[in-house]
Amino acid sequence: MDLRNVAIIAHVDHGKTTLVDNLLRQAGAFRANQQVAERALDRNDLERERGITILAKCTAVSWRGARINIVDTPGHADFGGEVERILSMVDGAIVLVDAAEGVLPQTKFVVGKALARGLRPIVVINKVDRGDARPHEVHEEVFDLFAALGADEAQLDFPTLFASGRQGWADDSLEGPRRDLSALFELILRHVPPPGLDPEAPFALTATILEYDPYLGRILTGRVEQGRARVNMPVRVLRADGAVVETGRLTKLLAYRGLERVPVEEAEAGDIIAIAGLAQATVPDTIAAPEVAAALPAIPVDPPTLAMTFRINDGPLAGREGKKVTSRQIRERLFREAEGNVAIRVRESEETDAFEVAGRGELQLGVLIETMRREGFELTIGRPRVLTRENPETGAREEPYEEVLVDVDEAHAGVVVEKLSLRKGVMQDMRPLGAGKQRLSFLIPSRGLIGYHGEFLTDTRGTGVMNRLFHGYGPWAGPIEGRRNGALISNADGEAVQYALFYLQERGTLFIGPGERVYVGMIIGENSRGEDLEVNPLREKKLTNIRAAGKDDALLLTPPRRMSLEQAIAYIGDDELVEVTPGAVRLRKRHLDPHERKRQARRGESEAA
């Protein structure tokens, strides 16, 4: 069988999944009258709501007698663990770049990984039908990026297509007929080499994706690196050090055909398959015939840079909305996540009933928390903190740094530069984009970006676009100023009253509305001053038997400020937590009792002294 394995990689929202939709349609994977959801590969509810790809997906099409396995990869660097594993399964990569936005940080991240693996990319300049498209300039940007990332001569001699994934066409030139995607299919067959693996050697496969199926149990996806896999053949699972994890049989082999996974009796070297029947095998174990003694080499994954503490919900409202509230249930769920997601690390925390979860960024961990919330878990989450390390040569403390690329209106550039400078950011570049916009480039400690995104959107009136990418470790940048405003803290249990909230809104910004449940120690708003303030949201108007001549003034409340899960996590301070339940996201103090808070504050001051 003539076979090609290719990954589609790009910055988030540059059109990967939409392009795959049209590749599937034009290759005949759908019937002519079949109703298919837009972005068919984004099956996860969170992916559909956010419009991003979180999990890598495999699909396959047939074109002129050849089978092309296509892998759609996430664009966010937070999900880089997915990208790194997926690139080990393919022999070529389609690099998709938006014709207007050009090369952005996540493009650099995924392309760098692909070039390091020796893949020869195909460049597709997408969305050339946009009114602000600049395809030729973007083509030059891509070449400069490849050169900066150390591409060799063969990789720099990349073929380029101009395309509109949404309209379903790709051509060698902008003046082409713009009929269909056949030019892309033909280029894949010409430019991407066949796997070239040995089908006669003993069977071996590296597991790259782990899923759970209610009927088949654990399903592991990977590329057959050598030999042939057959249903019911005996196999053993090897760790990287050669230790045997388990022995078993391949009870089910599934191959990708369009959007479906169909059962097959046999698969040979080079094909991407899913297998069932193993109880302990995980990513990135080697599944091999019994005579194979050594594990296949696995790709090293970049270490996590950010950690959060996941705790049980021990607040007064615990257990009212979720079904999974014990530390044992939370522990099982987190360790199961770490098993399939190699970019996440989980360990027991020093706190009681708490776990430290480390990952690539706020988005990745936010997606995990949101998924658990929808599964019925109740949690409290601590403030994110960066993971530092010791320089092996000097012994100095180092912290993670990120590259930040900001596209902003010229009128707002000054305030962005000022705010990022306060957060220890150093400007690397500033260039005009035309139409009154500027592109600013910064190098900044990851600490400085925690909690900044909401402030950034406010400062730029919602028009700014910020992209970030892990750059590496650098010297500790010293103290960074955090949130300037204190919190409005409830000193009573019950339901908030409109009369009380009307007078409290003079103190700052409220996070709750009338009728909402509150408890002692819960944060109900932001103080307009720097210190925390305890308030009573249950205070009612004193009633008398004397009526005024005029009616009472109408109590008009400003709509409360509602935070998303990620905004809440970024907002809290070190002594605060986010309470996450299936029905609500609340902010609270770590210590609900005001006397305990004062004791802890005095203890912190004495330790600092």
Q: Is 128 annotated as a binding residue?
A: yes
**AA identity, residue 21:** D
Whether the CB-CB separation of 307 and 567 falls below 8 Å is answered with no
Q: Is 15 annotated as a binding residue?
A: yes
Q: Is 16 annotated as a binding residue?
A: yes
Whether the CB-CB separation of 162 and 170 falls below 8 Å is answered with yes
Q: Is 441 exposed, middle or buried (0-12, 13-18, 19+ CB in 10 A)?
A: middle
**Quick one: tokens of 374?**
């929808």
Query: How large is the angle between the packed helices 452-459 and 410-422, nearest 10 degrees?
Result: 150
Q: Is 14 annotated as a binding residue?
A: yes
582: CB partners within 8 A, 6+ apart? 321, 322, 373, 374, 376, 377, 378
Q: How far apart are CA 491 and CA 536, in angstroms?
A: 6
Q: Is 302 annotated as a binding residue?
A: no
Whether the CB-CB separation of 71 and 20 falls below 8 Å is answered with no
Alpha-helix runs per DSSP H in 543-590 = 565-571
Phi, psi of 112, rounded to the nearest 5 degrees: -60, -40
Give Rg (Cα) of the chain: 27
Q: How far apart are CA 64 and CA 355, in angstroms?
A: 52
Q: How far apart are CA 77 and CA 93, in angstroms?
A: 17
Q: Is 589 annotated as a binding residue?
A: no
Q: Is 305 annotated as a binding residue?
A: no
Query: How large is the angle between the packed helices 105-116 and 135-148, nearest 10 degrees?
Result: 50
**AA identity, residue 325:** V
Which residues fall in the annotated binding site for GTP?
Answer: 13-18, 126-129
Which residues fall in the annotated binding site?
Answer: 13-18, 126-129
